[in-house]
Structure 1
Amino acid sequence: MSIENPLWGAPRIHGELLKLGFEVAQSSVAKYMVKRRKPPSQGWRTFLHNHAPDIAAMDLFVVPTIGFDLLYAYIIVRVDRRELVWISVTAHPTAEWIARQITEAFPWNEAPRYLIRDRDRIYGSVVTRRLRAMGIRDKPIAPASPWQNGFAERLIGSIRRECVDHVIVLGEAHLRRILKSYSAYYNNITTHRSLDKDAPVSRPVQRIGSIKSHATLGGLHHHYARA
C-alpha cells in the first residue's frame, strides 16, 4: 500500500496512517517519503498555460526620434490570442499615466483577471491601487526573469523588427500614428504559429476571387486578400 499525494507533507500522511490503524512515528514517514523534484505549487509556465484566457501582460520600450529625443511606447497584450489590446506613446511616463492607460484599455466588465508586469519602479502604488480597484490581480515577475513576461517581450521584438527599426520617427504624434497602424496590421493580418497560422483577430479563409495586394505602413508590409 502507498499513499501518494504531491501536496501532502509528512504530518498529513502520518495522520492518514494513524486513522488506518498503522502505528508509526512521523519521523519515519518523513524519512521514507519520496523527495520532490518540483515545487508543490504550479510553476510560472503552468500558471500561464492554465490561466491564459484570463491573463494580459504589459511593458514599456524606448524609441528614439530624428532629434535624438526618447519616446516611450506602452503596450498591453492578451496572452491567449496574442492580441495587442492597447498601445500608446508618451515622452514622460509616470505611474499616473500608466494607471490611466490601464483604465482606458479595459472596459470595467472586460478586464483580465491577472496582469503580468516587470518590476520597474514606474509601476508604483498608483498602478497597483488601480489594478485592485478594477479587480485585476497584479502579477510582477520574479527579479531578473524577463522570460516570465515573454509574451510582451516577443511582441516588442516584433514591433521593432517589423516596424520602428525601419522608420525615422519625427515626433510623438508621428510615432503614435505609426504604432496604431501597426497594431491594426498585427491584430487583423499577421498570422501566428501558436494560433494555428491564424491572426489574433481570427481571419476567415478566402477561396473565391482574385488575389489583391494591399500596402500597409507605407508599403513596409502587404496584406493579400481575395476581391
Structure 2
Amino acid sequence: MLMLQRIFTMLTTLSELIRFITGFFKCRTALQLEVLALRHQLNVLQRKSPKRPTLKVWDRLFWVWLMRLWPAWRNALVIVKPSAVVKWHRKGFRLYWRWKSRKKRPGRPPVPKELRDLIRQMSRENPLWGTPRIHGELLMLGYDVGQTTVGKYMVRPEKPPSQTWRTFLENHSNQIVAMDFFTVPTIFFKVLHVLILIDHERRRIIHFNVTTNPTSAWVIQQIREAFPWDTTPRFLLHDRDQLFMASQFAFKRMGIETVITAPGSPWQNAIAERVIGTLRRDCFDHVIVFNEAHLRQKLGEYVAYYHGSRTHLGLSKDCPVHRDIQPKEAGSVVAFPVLGGLHHRYERVAA
C-alpha cells in the first residue's frame, strides 16, 4: 500500500514537471489565455455560495468565447465539465438564430373579427361548402381576403359533412310519409293504439287505424292498405319503436327507404308529433272514448274536418285539401257544427 502511494506521488510530480517544461515552449498568447481562464475560475470559487459554485450568464459567455478562441481550453477547465460549455454554446446559438430570424417587417394585416365570425358562420351553416366556395361568396360580398385565410378560419367538422334534418325534410317533402303511434284510453281505462300516416307535403293524414294489440304484421298490413299498387312513397319516416324496427325487411321489399330518427329525438319526426298533438288538443282532450268503434268514428269525423276545413300555419293558412276563398258576394256566412259543436266549419251560402 505504501509502495502504491509513493508511485502515485512520483507520477503526479512528474506530470507537473512536464507541464512546467512544456510551458516554456507555449506561445505568449496561449499562456495569457490559460492564466485568464484559471483566474476566472478562482474568482468563481471565491464567491459566497452555500453548496457549489454558481455560474452566471457572463461566466458562461466567457467560456463560450474562450472555446471559440483557444483550442486547448479543455486543459484549463476545472470547475465544470467541457460538455457543459458545449451545451451553453448551442443554447447561445439558438438564441442568436431566433433573434436573427425575427420579423423585421410586419406580415399580413390582421383579419377582422367580423370576417372571422362570418367565415365560421358560413362553414357551419353550409357543411357541403369547401374553402373555394366560401371564398367566392366572400368576394361577392366585397371582402378582400385570400383563400388560404378562409381555410384557416373555417370550422372543420369531426364527421363527413351532412345536411341538416330540416334541409332533408324540406327537399323531400313530396316523397316523405311520417308514421307514428299514439294511445287513447277508453272510459274503462282500456288502452287503444292508433297508427297514423301523414304526408309531409300537404300534412294530409293518409291513413289511420285503431287496434288493441299492435304487432309488426298488423303494421305491415296497414302500409299495404295505405299504399296499394305503385303508390308507395320513397321515404318512410319513423322512430325506433320495436314494431317499426321489426318491419324493416317488409318495407324494403315494398321499395320503401326508411328514415329512422335518433333515440330520444321526437323533433326529427316533428310533423307526425305535431299532428298527434293537434288530435289531442282539438279532439281527444275533450272526448271520452267508449270503445274501439267509437274512437274510429270520432277519428274519421275529425280527419274530414282536418283535411277540408282546418287551416294550417305551415300551409300559409290553407287546408291540406285546398280550400277556395269564397268572395263576399257568395252569400252570408253559415256555421256547420263538427264533432257535436266542438268545432265549426264556416261557409258562405247564397240566400
TM-score range, shorter chain: 0.7 to 0.9
| 1:168 counterpart (265, 288, 292) | 288
What CA distance in whole angstroms lies between the structure 2 residues aligned with 1:213 and 1:130?
46
| 1:218 counterpart (321, 333, 340) | 340
Bigger radius of gyration: 2
The list of structure 1 runs, each at least 4 consecutive aligned residues, that deviate by more than 6 angstroms after superposition, is none
What CA distance in whole angstroms lies between the structure 2 residues aligned with 1:6 and 1:57?
26
- Cα deviation for residue 144 of structure 1 reads 1.2
- Cα deviation for residue 185 of structure 1 reads 0.7
Change (3 A) 1:32 1:183: same
In the alignment, which residue of structure 1 is the partner of 2:301?
A: 181
SS at match of 2:230: coil
Matched, 1:111 2:232: yes
Structure-to-structure mapping, 1:31-50, within 5 angstroms: 34-36=154-156, 40-50=161-171
Matched, 1:203 2:305: no
Q: Which has the higher relative contact order, 1 or 2, with Cα contacts under 8 A spaced 6 or more apart? A: 1
Query: For residue 203 of structure 1, what is the amino acid of its counterpart?
Result: R
SS at match of 2:214: coil
**Identical columns (%):** 50
CA contact (8 A) 2:178 2:272 kept: yes
What CA distance in whole angstroms lies between the structure 1 residues aligned with 2:220 and 2:256?
12
- Cα deviation for residue 108 of structure 1 reads 2.7
Change (3 A) 1:124 1:41: closer
In the alignment, which residue of structure 1 is the partner of 2:66?
A: none
What CA distance in whole angstroms lies between the structure 2 residues aligned with 1:214 and 1:130?
43
Query: For residue 79 of structure 1, what is the amino acid of its counterpart?
Result: H
SS at match of 1:47: helix
- Cα deviation for residue 226 of structure 1 reads 1.3
Residue by residue over 1:121-154, the C-alpha shift from the partner in whole angstroms, topping out at 9 and shown as x without a partner, is: 11143x2122112211011101111100110000
In the alignment, which residue of structure 2 is the partner of 1:18?
A: none
Residue by residue over 1:135-175, the C-alpha shift from the partner in whole angstroms, topping out at 9 and shown as x without a partner, is: 11011101111100110000000000000111110000100
In the alignment, which residue of structure 1 is the partner of 2:210?
A: 89
Query: For residue 101 of structure 1, what is the amino acid of its counterpart?
Result: Q
Aligned residue pairs, count: 204
Pairwise CA RMSD: 2.4
- Cα deviation for residue 37 of structure 1 reads 5.1
Which consecutive unaligned segments of at least 5 residues does structure 2 have? Answer: 1-122, 131-150
Query: For residue 198 of structure 1, what is the amino acid of its counterpart?
Result: D
Query: For residue 63 of structure 1, what is the amino acid of its counterpart?
Result: V
- Cα deviation for residue 113 of structure 1 reads 0.8
In the alignment, which residue of structure 1 is the partner of 2:273?
A: 153
- Cα deviation for residue 32 of structure 1 reads 5.3
| 1:193 counterpart (306, 313, 327) | 313
Matched, 1:102 2:102: no
What CA distance in whole angstroms lies between the structure 2 residues aligned with 1:188 and 1:8?
42
SS at match of 2:169: helix
Matched, 1:64 2:211: no
Larger proportion of helix: 2
CA contact (8 A) 1:87 1:183 kept: no
What CA distance in whole angstroms lies between the structure 2 residues aligned with 1:66 and 1:41?
47
What CA distance in whole angstroms lies between the structure 1 residues aligned with 2:260 and 2:157?
25
Which consecutive unaligned segments of at least 5 residues does structure 1 have? Answer: 10-30
What CA distance in whole angstroms lies between the structure 2 residues aligned with 1:134 and 1:33?
47
Query: For residue 214 of structure 1, what is the amino acid of its counterpart?
Result: F
Change (3 A) 1:32 1:74: same
Change (3 A) 1:186 1:7: closer
SS at match of 1:139: strand
What CA distance in whole angstroms lies between the structure 1 residues aligned with 2:180 and 2:287?
21
